[in-house]
């Protein structure tokens, strides 16, 4: 990754001739220095027309204006191309709100990567429906919010989570083994912002206790899936997946232990792709520029 400050321009539009030529010409006309570029054309199917996806990194100090003016100048071209697009600044750290229940491994891994600056982010708070990790999180100097959830207070609890997320100006919400189902209205309110780690190789074994489901089916591979959260349980666009081979001698407890390692790695990779604007969404699919 470039060490100097850069802007990341990403987006998609209906496929047509001259997309990259026009965008590259726009940047060149303003003396912009393209550091990295990636493209993909999707031929579409019976439900979707062909679409073009792109991601560019432009050295910030090569341009004669800042991000706000870039947006203003680029908007007319994007409109001509019917492009869904965004641009971000590498100097602005993303604000990631972590949510957790009683499983610690993903939380520990994310905080270790944050503390070592492997993930160069801000964590304005951690939210949990249990107070198990309060002391651990606060030891890191991060505010901890205990928001219990029961059948009687579910609506109020989710409203409180949304209030906290908005108050701390969160960019991304990570469900790091947060074992509660978010309501549809929250998923709709934060599209493309909520990331989950599911402990199975989706679309297999959705819902609760996937390792137990896998054990009963006698599978030979188990995995983990990092995906965006949508109103449909465990059906959101997939960002990253990985698997490990098992055999008949492995008990459920072995599978859970193996799975924890996969979950940590898959969540970290998926979150990084998201934070670096390498994930482009279209319908229920993703294009990932690694």
Give the model confidence (pLDDT) of 54-71 as tens digits: 999 999 999 999 999 999
Q: Which of 142-146, 149-153, 171-175 is predicted with the least confidence, judged by mean pLDDT?
A: 149-153
Q: Summarize pLDDT for 83-134 with one digit per residue, the tens.
A: 999 999 999 999 999 999 999 999 999 999 999 999 999 999 999 999 999 9
User: Which string of b and e fits 226-239 if b means at least 16 CB within 10 Å?
Assistant: bbbbbeeebebbbb
CATH code of 6-89, in short, is 3.30.70.260
Q: CA neighbours within 13 Å on the CB side: how many for 102?
A: 2
Residues 6+ positions from 258 with CB-CB distance below 8 Å? 222, 244, 246, 250
The architecture that CATH gives domain 96-288 is 3-Layer(aba) Sandwich (3.40)
pTM, entire model: 0.93
Query: What residues are annotated to the active site?
Result: 234
Whose tokens are 């940047």? That residue is 27
Q: What 8-state DSSP symbol labels residue 122?
A: B
Return the pLDDT at 13. 96
Give the chain's mean pLDDT: 94
Give ranges for CATH 3.40.50.170 in the chain: 96-288
Using alpha carbons only, give the angle 216, 220, 223 rounded to the nearest 5 degrees: 90
Q: Summarize pLDDT for 188-228 with one digit per residue, the tens.
A: 999 999 999 988 877 777 878 888 888 888 888 888 999 99
Give ranges for CATH 3.30.70.260 in the chain: 6-89
């Amino acid at each position: 990754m470039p060490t100097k400050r850069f802007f990341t321009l990403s987006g998609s539009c209906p496929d047509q001739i001259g997309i990259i030529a026009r965008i590259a010409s726009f940047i060149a006309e303003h003396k912009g220095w393209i550091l990295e570029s990636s493209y993909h054309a999707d031929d579409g199917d019976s439900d979707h027309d062909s679409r073009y996806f792109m991601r560019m990194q432009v050295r910030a100090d090569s341009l004669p204006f800042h991000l706000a003016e870039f947006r203003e100048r680029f908007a007319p071209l994007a409109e001509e191309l019917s492009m869904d697009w965004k641009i971000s600044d590498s100097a602005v750290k993303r604000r990631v709100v972590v949510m957790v229940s009683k499983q610690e491994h993903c939380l520990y891994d994310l905080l270790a990567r944050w503390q070592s600056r492997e993930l160069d982010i801000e964590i304005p708070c951690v939210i949990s429906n249990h107070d198990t990790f309060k002391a651990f999180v606060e030891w890191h100097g991060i505010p901890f919010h205990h928001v219990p959830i029961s059948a009687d207070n579910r609506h109020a609890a989710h409203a409180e989570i949304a209030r906290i997320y908005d108050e701390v100006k969160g960019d991304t919400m990570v469900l790091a083994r947060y074992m509660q189902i978010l309501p549809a209205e929250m998923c709709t309110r934060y599209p493309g912002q909520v990331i989950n780690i599911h402990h199975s190789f989706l679309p297999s074994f959705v819902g609760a206790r996937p390792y137990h489901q896998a054990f009963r089916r006698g599978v030979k591979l188990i995995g983990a899936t990092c995906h965006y959260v949508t109103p449909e349980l465990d059906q959101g666009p997939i960002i990253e997946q990985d698997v490990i081979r098992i055999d008949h001698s492995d008990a459920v407890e072995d599978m859970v232990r193996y799975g924890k390692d996969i979950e940590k790695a898959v969540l970290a990779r998926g979150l990084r792709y998201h934070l670096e604007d390498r994930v482009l969404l279209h319908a229920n699919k993703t294009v990932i520029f690694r």
